[in-house]
Structure 1
Amino acid sequence: MGGILTLDDFDVKGKRVLLRVDLNSPVIKGKVILSDRIIEHVKTIKDLCNKKAIVVILAHQGRKGDDDFISLKQHSKLLNRFVKVKFVDDIIGEKAINEIKSLKEGEALLLENVRFLKEETDTSENNLFVKRLAPLFDLFVLDAFSVAHRAQASVTGFSKVLPSCLGRSAEKELKFLGKIKNMNNVLYILAGAKIEENLLLMEHALKNKTNRIIVAGLLGQLCLIASGVNLGAQNKFLEKKGLIQFVPKLKKLIRRHRSKIEMPIDVAVKARGKRKEVDTKDFPQDDEIFDIGKKTINKYIGIIKKARVIFMKGPPGYYQEKQFRLGTIKIFNAVPKRAFSVIGGGDTTTAMKLARINKSRFTYASLSGGALSEYLAGKKLAGIEALKQKRFFK
């Protein structure tokens, strides 16, 4: 696959395999919620165990300082619903090393949250994380495409010293994203709060004259400001979030490609706790925006129904509140089943669940966010580049 080895290139029976997955999941009141990511990576773990490999799993949860920066103990329990996995609350200490050495063929062990280690972000050649674990393994498998854009020890460090390849989930991600990356006449539906990622995608998409973009959510609001609309109270909200800084770049894009970018013509605000639809020409308003309006929804549905290739990232509205899910539900359900459609981003999949939208209506649902945006925008991903150093078992 594009000069990268996959599990099909290795006979893993009896081999010690270090597997990097992404188990990062929603945490509500300290409880880890079973996510699509966990379910997806089970397939690779099962595949390796069934082939009698000795499997040790690396993963992370949250970021230092955040409420969801917790141990992977709960994740191991969730994994055990589908495949038998042991857990050790250690990564590079004697406790972890002894557990690794005691594993038998067909067994799997999950190590503690790799972000607990300061060495995870150390990119030096003498990284203690890599030095301690690498000698214990025969093969490194990167199955977490979602973190492939990060030059961190658990993503890129082991590929420098071990035979390495893609796991099943990452292989599938590259296959589908590679297809849409090279297609013409793609309709990009971009929304959500990740403005930098969406800007990357906009810049890339607009290089191809056959592509078209629909914007909604916070990105849509910023595009309206960039085109001269004063959103009133919403301007202050966006400024507080540090998002107004993206307006100058959006102004340039809109000036150059106005006919290719579709923007909201009305929105839904929260007025005295209730949904209220307001045309964009009637701004500024004193109420904050939470969704696209019905006129915009109908306008966008007309465009979506005609599209044959669709890439969608981010929910069009504040889906956490039922009264503001209308845009998300209508836009997601407008995607024709006959179209080649890819959806991506963590918020997108969460919104789909809350809005009870079946992901089977889409050709492929990506588990990635930042890595997906960078890959589609043509950027090199550190984790993928590291896998191009082909090494086989001795």
Structure 2
Amino acid sequence: MYSVDEFLRIDELEVVGKTVLLRVDINSRVDGGKLHMTEKIARHAETIVHLSERGAKTVVISHQGRPGDDRFITMEQHAELLRRFVNVTYVDDVIGPAARDAISGMWDGEVLLLENVRILSEETLARSPDEHASSIFVRKLSPLCDIYINDAFETAHRAHASLVGFPMVMPSGIGLVTEEELGSLTKFVEMEMRGRCVYMLGGGKLGDVLPFIKNQISSKSSIILTAGRVANAFLSAEKGVESDVEDEYVRLAGDILRMKNAEKIKLPDDVALNVDGERVEVPVDELSRFGNAVRIYDIGGRTCDEYISILRSADAILIKGPAGVYENEMFAEGTKKIFGAVANMNTFSLIGGGDTTTALNAVGIEKSAFSYVSLAGGALLKFLSGERLPALDVLILSKKKWQNKL
């Protein structure tokens, strides 16, 4: 488990007049080419404002989407949204002359936002931190900057150039978001070790969630409630329910169900379907009468009641992912009931993942009703599983190397 004390914190660094390379994660929802304002942008803006007000020359870098998908856009719209909080200059370049000249000419308190780092093929190559430190990306920008701050806890499980390369060659620390995430997640882990933890896992990111479940069922005090595509994977594996879940995940779900302690995984007893535009709740054992074209939109009322009863017995609760297709009001019922019940419990409650926070807003439940709302998804699950996170490990090494030289 990581401790905040292992890292150089932003307030321990002298940044006045220094050029600070700040890695954030403002990768956000895009619809029809339009970027949406998100909690990520607002939270990371706090770190940017903090550095600017302390007189740092702040060079912000982030990614958005992946090359080839609809969410892969420039950072120009991100700059527009960040300007609601701080004056930001957008530079449509990362390591070329335009970016380097803009950085060299900065004044104290100025903020630049460089282009999407994933336009560089080097960014996502499978390389070691030392190899990334030798990349053109790092060699072009590091001489222009004095300090590197990683505030992108959401991507701490990745070993990309912008995350692990710079700490190998310059003094590096954590920003406000990462510090807050580490403190709150550490508290959750400590409570999990002392008492009974219940995980409510829904949504659709099976590549993150299923390995987490496989790891967690070895914990004697944990219970796992499933919904969304997570539940669909297990229902397909155990009961042959037709779904759109990829075969590899159905096989993995089947492997997990054959493990010792698999009884800790709770599957929906009833689900909600869309039948001729109406919400119809059906026991799982009766789904076959609807044919192979059935699509599950939500958990049913009986399952909601059972899950809420189990959640009330918890000492700590993690919710990651909505219970159903909450974007359609008719199928937001499971998400609203589960989230609403947990919001009214006197239990340490951790909400994780961007989809989960979006769902909270959609069903009208305030984030302040929960103990902590994390921006992270995959990184959160790996942290709770006790896995090492590459982007944090290099920051620990950087502190050991540089703390007596600052």
Contact 2:10–2:176 (CA<8 Å) still a contact in 1?
A: yes
**How far apart are residue 223 of structure 1 and its match?**
2.1
Output the CA distance in 1 between the equivalents of 2:346 and 2:254: 37
Aligned residue for 1:354?
A: 362
- Work out the CA distance in 2 between the residues paired with 1:116 and 1:134: 18
Runs of 5+ unmatched residues, structure 1: none
Shift in Å at residue 258 of structure 1?
Answer: 4.2
> How far off is 1:207 after superposition?
2.3
In structure 2, C-alpha distance between the alignment counterparts of 1:79 and 1:243, rounded to whole Å: 38
Q: Pick one of 112, 115, 127 that aligns with 1:112.
A: 115
Residue 90 in structure 1 maps to residue 98 in structure 2 = no
Shift of the alpha carbon at 1:322?
A: 1.4
Q: Distance in 2 between matches of 1:181 and 1:15?
A: 36
Secondary structure of the residue that 2:351 maps to in structure 1?
strand
5 Å-filtered alignment, 1:368-387, equals: 368-387=376-395
Aligned residues: CA RMSD: 1.5
- The reply to whether residue 39 of structure 1 matches residue 42 of structure 2 is yes
Q: How does 1:100-179 map to 2 (within 5 A)?
A: 100-122=103-125, 123=127, 124=131, 125-179=133-187
Is 1:230 aligned to residue 252 of structure 2?
A: no
One of 262, 274, 283 as aligned partner of 2:287: 283
- CA distance, structure 2, for counterparts of residue 338 and residue 12 of structure 1: 41
Out of 257-266 and 4-13, give the one that drifted further: 257-266
- The answer to whether the 8 A contact 2:237-2:250 is kept is no
With 137-146 and 305-314 compared, the bigger mean Cα shift is at 305-314
Cα deviation 1:128-181 (Å, max 9, x = unaligned): 000000011111000000111111111111000000000000111111111212
Over 3 Å counting, the alpha-carbon distance change for 1:251 and 1:337 in structure 2 is: closer
- The alignment partner of 1:45 has SS state of helix
TM-aligned CA distance change 1:20 to 1:60, over 3 Å = same
Partner of 1:248: 254
Query: CA contact under 8 A between 1:200 and 1:374: conserved in structure 2?
Result: no
Mean Cα deviation higher: 122-131 or 61-70: 122-131
Q: Deviations over 1:15-53 (max 9, x none)?
A: 110000011111111111111000001111111111111
Deviation at 1:242, TM superposition (A): 5.3
Q: CA offsets per residue over residues 348-379 of structure 1, 9 Å max, x none?
A: 11111221221111111111111111111111
CA apart distance, 1:332: 0.6
Q: Select the residue among 255, 278, 284 that pairs with 1:274.
A: 278
Give me the whole-angstrom Cα distance separating, in 1, the residues matched to 2:63 and 2:124.
12
Q: Secondary structure at the match of 1:75?
A: helix
In the superposition, the TM-score normalised over structure 2's length comes to 0.92
Say yes or no: does 1:194 pair with 2:197.
Answer: no
Number of residues of Structure 1 aligned to a counterpart in Structure 2:
387
Distance 1:221 1:75 in 2: 35
Letter in 2 for 1:204: N
CA distance in 1 between partners of 2:180 and 2:157 (Å): 17
Q: Sequence identity, in percent?
A: 41
1:327 paired with 2:334, answer yes
Separation of aligned partners in 2, 1:200 and 1:238: 15
Q: Specify the code of the residue in structure 2 equivalent to 1:26.
A: R
Match of 2:75 in 1: 72
Q: Separation in 2 of the partners of 1:37 and 1:320?
A: 20
> For the residues of structure 1 that align with 2:276 and 2:139, how far apart are their CA atoms?
59
Deviation at 1:59, TM superposition (A): 0.7
Moved >6 Å (runs of 4+)? none
Distance 1:238 1:88 in 2: 41
Which deviates further from its counterpart, 46-55 or 194-203? Answer: 194-203
Deviation, 1:200, is: 2.6
Contact 1:308/1:338 (<8 A) preserved: no
Are the equivalent residues in 2 in contact too, given 1:314–1:347 (CA < 8 A)?
Answer: yes
CA contact (8 A) 1:187 1:211 kept: yes
Tell me the SS of whatever aligns to 2:280: strand
Give the TM-score, by structure 1 length: 0.94
1:20 to 18, 23, 40: 23
How is 1:293-332 mapped onto 2 (pairs within 5 angstroms)? 293-332=300-339
Number of the residue aligned with 1:260? 264
Contact (CA 8 Å) 2:138, 2:166: kept in 1 or not? Answer: yes
Paired residues of 2:225 and 2:307 also in contact (CA < 8 A):
yes
Q: Secondary structure at the match of 1:243?
A: helix
Q: Residue 348 of structure 2 corresponds to which residue in structure 1? A: 340
Shifted more, 274-283 versus 32-41: the winner is 274-283
Q: Residue 19 of structure 1 aligns to a residue in which SS?
A: strand
Whole-angstrom CA distance in 1 between matches of 2:10 and 2:262: 45
> Do the aligned partners of 1:160 and 1:386 also contact (CA within 8 Å) in 2?
yes
Amino acid at match of 1:295: R
Partner SS for 1:306: coil
Deviation at 1:381, TM superposition (A): 0.7
Letter of the structure 1 residue corresponding to residue 273 of structure 2: V
Tell me if the contact between 2:217 and 2:262 (Cα under 8 Å) persists in the aligned partners.
no
